[in-house]
Amino acid sequence: MNLIEINDINASEIDVFARVTERQLRSDEENEEGLFVAESAYVIICALEAGYEPLSMLVETGRLEVEALPVLDAIEKHWGKEKRESIPVYIADRSVVVNITGHKLVRGLWMTLKRKPLISLEGFCRDKKRIAVLMDVVNPTNVGAIFRSAAALGMDGVLLTHPSVDPLTRRSARVSMGTVFQIPWAKASLEESDGLTMMGLLHSYGYKTVAMALTNDSTSVDNDEIRSNEKLAVLLGTEGTGLPKDVIAASDYRVMIPMHHGVDSLNVAAASAISFWELMK
């Protein structure tokens, strides 16, 4: 393997891990689709299995044998022996790694990978029966958890509005346990992300829209009529404000999860899991 020892946190070789923001990685000039950084061996291997091209790796010295080698094996399996031997593997002591992250509890393994071309909204919707639509969900933990539920409970894909957080951010990918690489997803353009515009597009692609919202006419999510529809788009809003009022009004169905003990709602990630489970029955 191409091992390169790093002793200085300011070494230019690790700028991509330590000093380049995720937004800057997405608009990398040398790569048209941009880059992202994944962390932990399990998440990285999921990305490799999904066909994302590895570019470089940073690993804590003590994790080289246990965690880095399986990743290198996955690189060889999916990208060939030459790629395994040529990819830069930067190794650094724990003191350097902690200084990079600013946290004492670190995963100890990171990889930069090349993004894939984005999928158009029309192309994404063409062959999917059940999709989750994240309307301006900006919390990376919630996005990661929703992806994990969507993948585990049989949804066909996840569509995000333009303001929603990028699913390939380190935290979203890690919280999702790599499922952001295992389930199809697409991000709408800024123009497509306007509430009523998005609703019109979903309806034009044949979806019945299901707004997760607490309104006077909301029905229980356990609903056979809703399940009987061939194509469903489940709309999930951001924490606090939920879905926009015009989106709720334009939806074909408004559903709620019955609550007890005076609780009015669940976290959006928890609500997504329940709604996916019920609507996929």
Q: 101 pLDDT band (50/70/90 cuts)?
A: low
Question: In the chain, how many domains are there?
Answer: 2
- Residues 51, 182, single domain; the answer is no
Q: Are 77 and 211 in contact (CB under 8 A)?
A: no
- Residues 95, 126, single domain; the answer is no
Q: Are strands 109-114 and 53-60 parallel, antiparallel or unpaired?
A: antiparallel
- Residues 135, 234, single domain; the answer is yes
- Residues 268, 130, single domain; the answer is yes
- Residues 95, 152, single domain; the answer is no
Which stretches of 21-78 are assigned E, i.e. beta strand? 35-39, 53-60
CATH of the domain at 59: 3.30.1330.30
The mean pLDDT value for 69-75 works out to 95
pLDDT at 29: 63
pLDDT at 218: 84
- Residues 144, 99, single domain; the answer is no
At which of 114, 141, 172 does a domain end?
114
- Residues 79, 165, single domain; the answer is no
- Interatomic CA distance for residues 158 and 144, integer angstroms: 11
- Residues 273, 203, single domain; the answer is yes
pLDDT at 100: 62
Q: Provide the domain limits for residue 78.
A: 2-114
pLDDT, the chain, mean: 90
The mean pLDDT value for 202-206 works out to 97
pLDDT at 103: 43
Task: Check pLDDT > 70 for residue 34.
Answer: yes
pLDDT at 256: 86
- Residues 135, 79, single domain; the answer is no
The mean pLDDT value for 248-259 works out to 90
Strand, helix or coil for residue 187: strand
- Residues 51, 159, single domain; the answer is no
Task: Check pLDDT > 80 for residue 32.
Answer: no
Top mean pLDDT of 204-208, 261-265, 271-275 is at 204-208
DSSP 40: S
The mean pLDDT value for 200-209 works out to 97
- Residues 203, 256, single domain; the answer is yes
pLDDT at 190: 95
At which of 91, 114, 137 does a domain end?
114
CATH of the domain at 138: 3.40.1280.10
137 burial type by CB count under 10 A (0-12 exposed, 13-18 middle, 19+ buried):
buried
Task: Check pLDDT > 80 for residue 265.
Answer: no
pLDDT at 210: 96
At which of 114, 130, 165 does a domain end?
114
- Residues 94, 149, single domain; the answer is no
